[in-house]
Every structure is written in structure tokens, then in C-alpha cells.
Amino acid sequence: MTDSLTALIEKELAEQTADFSREYIELTDAMRYSLLSGGKRIRPRILMMFYRLCGGKNEAALPFAAGLEMIHTYSLIHDDLPCMDDDDMRRGRPSCHKAYGETTALLAGDALLTLGFAAAAKTTGLPAERVTRAIAVLAERAGMAGMVGGQVMDLRFERETPSLAELHNMVEKKTACLIMAAAEIGCILAGAPEEQVAAAREYGFKTGLAFQIIDDILDCAADEAVLGKPTGSDAKNGKTTFVTLLGIEGARREAKDLTTRALAALDRFEGDHTELTELTRHLLVREY
């Protein structure tokens, strides 16, 4: 689904990584390799859609949206490393450390995480109070109480079998937190009232969980060539997922139910949320 917003985000990402020094070309090549590899750009799109929904003007939030995508990309690079999930493929190509080596991949992740905050802090044309608050939200959702903590729990669940509640908690942190951040930050940067920030958080939470459930279903059922990475890896690793706990049909029902509730959260916004509704529905029926 390439649209004008996705094109705008791609352009911003390309521009923010265009003037890299050639002094450490192996690092910057690795950063670009992973960042500009045609992801779905879900998080920056959600950020921008909420920003516009709450009356945000121009493209002032775009650098921040690009920073969010950099932080998402760093997490993929580090998750793929040998001492983590040890994945050789990502988005249909060799993962960063397979292409550039472990050392460079680790540093490319560190540099993208840092550059993400640089991009966020350089947001101009909006009140600085909104920007500092949005950075605090981003750091909280991406850090130990969010995405990194979720990764720790995920790795633990390769050794211990989680309950459904524990799995929910892990996925909330590992996957949903950055989608929640996207939605909340869009509202914060637009200066939306607190009840809308809360509705956006709710939307991100439900959408993030649904997103992960669909990922689990695709890992069992999808065509490897379409998905761009090996399927069946969860089963192979003996990993507990929503599919192993609920079955494919149960997981599908759960994802559908979460999507319905995510869409209900959108109804708390007065503006036109057609774009967000379409994106959310599309995430449910996606094939990769």
C-alpha cells in the first residue's frame, strides 16, 4: 500500500540519511541498508495520521515520525543479532549482521537509536513543550518499561511457557508500545486534549496486539516468498504464541475483536479518520 503519506515518509528518511560522512562508510551503509529497505512504515504513518486527525498543520511532525521509524529499525537490527533471535533474513534480504557483520550491525543499531532521538529533538515549528513531552513518551515506550523489557520477556519465554496473560503483557511491551507511542505522539505534537491522547493510546494498544497476532498467524500459514523471511520459525523454536495458545481460528477471532475495539477508539475523535480506519483494517487482512 504505497500512498502519498508513505512517499513523504520515504523522502524524509532518505533526506535525513543523505549527508552521512564517508569517514565511517561501513556504518552508514549498514544504517541505510536496514532503514531504506521498504518497510511498511506503519509507525510513522500512524503518527502522521493522528497528527493530522488532531488538526496538526503542515508537515512539522515529519522529522519526528522519521525518528520513530529509525528507532523501530534499530530494534529489528538488534533483535536479529546472533545473541538474540539469530535471524538470517529480514524483509526478504539478509539481515543487517549477515550483510555487514555483527560488530557493524550492533553499532548501526546504536547509531539509529541515537539518530532517532536527534531527529525527534530537531522538530521545529511546534511548541518545544510538546516536543520534550513527545520525546519522553518515545523513550518510555522504547525502553526498559516498553520495547526492550518486552524483548527480555520474549527471550525468557523461549525457556518458560507463558500463560495467555503473560503473553499479552509481553506483546504489549515488545510490539504494542511503539505503536502506542506513534498514536500518542501524533496527538501530543498536534496539541490535542488529554482525552484524545488517551484514546490514541488505547487505539495503539489494541492495534499493536492485533498486529502481533496476525504476525503469529502468518508465521504458521504464510508463503515464505511473500513474507520475506522463513515461516514456521516459531514452531521450530518451540515458541509459545497466540496461535499455540488459541489455535489459528481462535487467534484470528482475537485479532478481529481487537481491531473492532481499535476502530471504536477512533470514534472518539471528531475529525475524519477514514485513512486510519483503512490502515487498521488493512493490517488485519495483510499477507506479510
Residue ranges that bind a copy of itself, judged by CB under 8 A:
20-21, 23-24, 26-28, 31, 74, 78, 81, 83-84, 102-104, 106-107, 109-111, 113-115, 117-118, 120-123, 127-129, 131-133, 135-136, 138-140, 142-145, 148-149, 151-153, 155, 169
Give the single-character DSSP code of 162.
P
Yes or no: say if 65 and 80 are a contact pair by the CB < 8 Å rule: no
Which is nearer to a copy of itself, 5 or 66 (by Cβ)?
Answer: 66
Closest of 199, 219, 206, 217 to residue 266, by C-alpha = 199
Which is nearer to a copy of itself, 20 or 288 (by Cβ)?
Answer: 20
Task: State how far Cα 89 lies from the chain centre.
Answer: 18
CA distance 38 to 26: 20
Task: Compute the least distance from the CB of residue 278 to a copy of itself, in Å.
Answer: 32
Task: Compute the least distance from the CB of residue 147 to a copy of itself, in Å.
Answer: 8
Q: Give the β-pairing of 89-90 and 93-94.
A: antiparallel
Which is nearer to a copy of itself, 139 or 245 (by Cβ)?
Answer: 139
Task: Compute the least distance from the CB of residue 111 to a copy of itself, in Å.
Answer: 4
Task: Compute the least distance from the CB of residue 230 to a copy of itself, in Å.
Answer: 21
Which is nearer to a copy of itself, 56 or 146 (by Cβ)?
Answer: 146
**Residue type at position 236:** K
Closest of 259, 132, 276, 128 to residue 196, by C-alpha = 276
Which is nearer to a copy of itself, 111 or 284 (by Cβ)?
Answer: 111
CA-to-CA dists, residue 259 to 19, 53, 166, 197, 246, angstroms:
40, 19, 21, 19, 17
Q: How many CB atoms lie within 10 A of CB 117?
A: 16
Task: Compute the least distance from the CB of residue 48 to a copy of itself, in Å.
Answer: 20
Which is nearer to a copy of itself, 1 or 136 (by Cβ)?
Answer: 136
Q: Is 91 helix (H, G, I), strand (E, B) or coil?
A: coil
Task: Compute the least distance from the CB of residue 200 to a copy of itself, in Å.
Answer: 19
How many Cα atoms occupy the beta-carbon half-sphere of 37 within 13 Å? 22
